[in-house]
Structure 1
Amino acid sequence: MAHNHAHGHHCECSQETKTDDLAVLYNLYSRIDLQNLECLNESIENSGKSVFRPWDERLDSDRFVQSDADEELLFNIPFTGNVKLKGLIIIGGDEGTHPSVVRLYKNRPHMTFDEAASPADQELNLVEDFNGTTEYATKIVKFSSVYHLTLHFPKNHGADTTKILFIGLKGDWSEGHRHGVTLCTYEATPSMADHKDKIIETTNMDV
Structure 2
Amino acid sequence: MSRKIIQSLTIAIAFLFSVHSVVLAQTTPPSFPSCTNPTGTVKVSYPSGTHGIPGNTSSFSGSDTVYDLGSGNHVQCFCAEDGNGIQTNWWNVNSLTGQEIDILLSQGWTFIPTGVVWGLEDDPYLVQNANYSCSGGTNGSTSDNGSGGGTVAGTSTSIGSVLGLAATGGILPIFILGSLGFISLSLGLYLKKEK
Larger radius of gyration: 2
TM-score range, shorter chain: under 0.3
TM-score, L = length of structure 2:
0.28
Structure with greater contact order relative to length (CA < 8 Å, sep ≥ 6): 1
TM-score, L = length of structure 1:
0.27
